[in-house]
Structure 1
Amino acid sequence: MHVHHLPATSTAAPADAITGSAWITPLAGPDGPSRTRVDRVQFAPGARTRWHRHPLGQVLVVTDGTGYVQREGGPAQLIRSGDTVRVEPGEWHWHGATDTTPMTHLAIEEIPADGRRTEVGEPAAVPAVTRQLLLDQQLPEPRLVGHVEVRRITIAPHHSPGLHVHNGPVFGSIESGSAVYQIEGEAESVLMPGDIFYEPESTRIAQFTAQDDGVTFLGYFPAGPGETPRLDLVHPS
């Protein structure tokens, strides 16, 4: 076992592999029978790799910021902190930061014993339009929808509406801040910017408690003709 207490040294990514500014910090390299290499790569806004492919594939773990990844023949997909990407062996792809935000990820790959190296191709460009499916939620039963209300809702720090239900399904997307979220009978989770949630009609929501920074989210309320979306508090019996 080897424990490294001092931070490793970062170096600028090679210009023939990266467009823009990026820095690589080696964290672990092949040692003995292990052929695994782990690097931390920090992309400045607008920086991205060229198209490339790895003989044995690669795993990316986003630890900070927001960026894109794209495989040959597929759309550019948005990735953010907490996301994991598995790249198949020999798959042409690229990854990097968005034009306005930095991104940091861990790059984990096995180095071939026969000396084969990563193949680098042309510079990558983010398409003018990107699409990412965030949720494809089937409702438990068909529901007549006459209109959809979209509300921007802000909850002050440490405040919660308490145990409640909605008279229709609710879809939500966190814009800023964070909240502890729990459906009654299920485990707690923390909703962060970019997270989405779905509440089936009449589901008891145990808590939606804003944390220190409060929380703002968009709520989408499909409603029937003449129906007004409503939140009803549930009083303990």
Structure 2
Amino acid sequence: MDSADGFGPAMLADVEPRFIPEGASGMTVLVEWPPSDPGTPPHRHTGPCFGCVIEGELRWELEGEPERVIQAGETFWEPGGGVIRYQNGNALSDAPAKYIEFMMCAPGQPMLTMVDAEEFEKRAHL
């Protein structure tokens, strides 16, 4: 929903999460990766995540989807739960990448869980 004069809110993403954990809390983080940083190793979140790249380019890959590059000004989301995030690193070798991410976190559970090598191997077909 862009305003006619170019000021005011602009819709960047409109998604319908599959679920939001009961009693979830929200967390907003600013993530910054230096040039060529691979980002966080494969992991999952307990609830859906929404974000926007504000600087640089982000290499992004979710389980069951092809790898893609998200540029500054573009958004991303993931459903959370059992879906593995394989990549979220800097796609550029000569500039930093920065993004803001809002996560819905299930109560009493860590916001992020790393995927161990055994599980990674079992789910490689996905």
TM over 0.5: yes
1:69-88 superposed matches below 5 A = 75-76=2-3
The DSSP-based 3-state class of the residue aligned with 1:219 is strand
Higher RCO (C-alpha under 8 Å, 6+ residues apart): 2
- Runs of 5+ in structure 2 lacking a partner? 122-126
Does the aligned pair in 1 maintain the 2:19–2:48 contact within 8 Å? no
Contact 1:146 1:226 in 2 (8 A): no
Name the structure 1 match of 2:98.
Answer: 216
Give the C-alpha shift of residue 153 in structure 1.
Answer: 0.8
Structure 1: 5+ residue stretches without partners: 1-73, 78-125
Is the radius of gyration larger for structure 1 or structure 2? 1
Structure ranking higher in strand proportion: 1
> Which residue, out of 157, 162, 172, partners 2:41?
162
Corresponding position: 1:197 with 2:76:
yes
Change (3 A) 1:187 1:224: closer
Letter in 1 for 2:83: T
Structure (1 or 2) with the greater helix fraction: 2
- Find the residue that maps to 2:37 and give its secondary structure: coil
How many angstroms apart in 1 are the aligned matches of 2:33 and 2:47?
Answer: 21
1:144 Cα deviation after fit = 2.2
Match of 2:62 in 1: 183
Deviation by residue 1:110-144 (Cα, 9 ceiling, x = unmatched): xxxxxxxxxxxxxxxx36x4222222221213532
**Of 63, 66, 86, the match for 1:206:** 86
Q: TM-score, normalised by structure 2?
A: 0.74
Runs of 4+ in 1 over 6 A off after TM superposition: none
1:188-218 per-residue CA deviation (whole Å, 9 max, x = no partner) reads 2111111111111121122222122231111
**Mapped contact 1:164–1:231 kept (Cα < 8 A):** yes
* Cα distance change, pair 175–149 in 1 and its aligned pair in 2 (3 A): same
Is the contact between residue 2 and residue 8 of structure 2 (CA under 8 Å) also seen in structure 1?
A: yes
Deviation string for 1:48-101 (max 9, x for gaps)? xxxxxxxxxxxxxxxxxxxxxxxxxx8536xxxxxxxxxxxxxxxxxxxxxxxx
TM-score (structure 1 length as normaliser): 0.43
CA RMSD of aligned residues (A): 2.4
C-alpha distance 232-167 of structure 1, shift in aligned 2 (>3 A)? farther
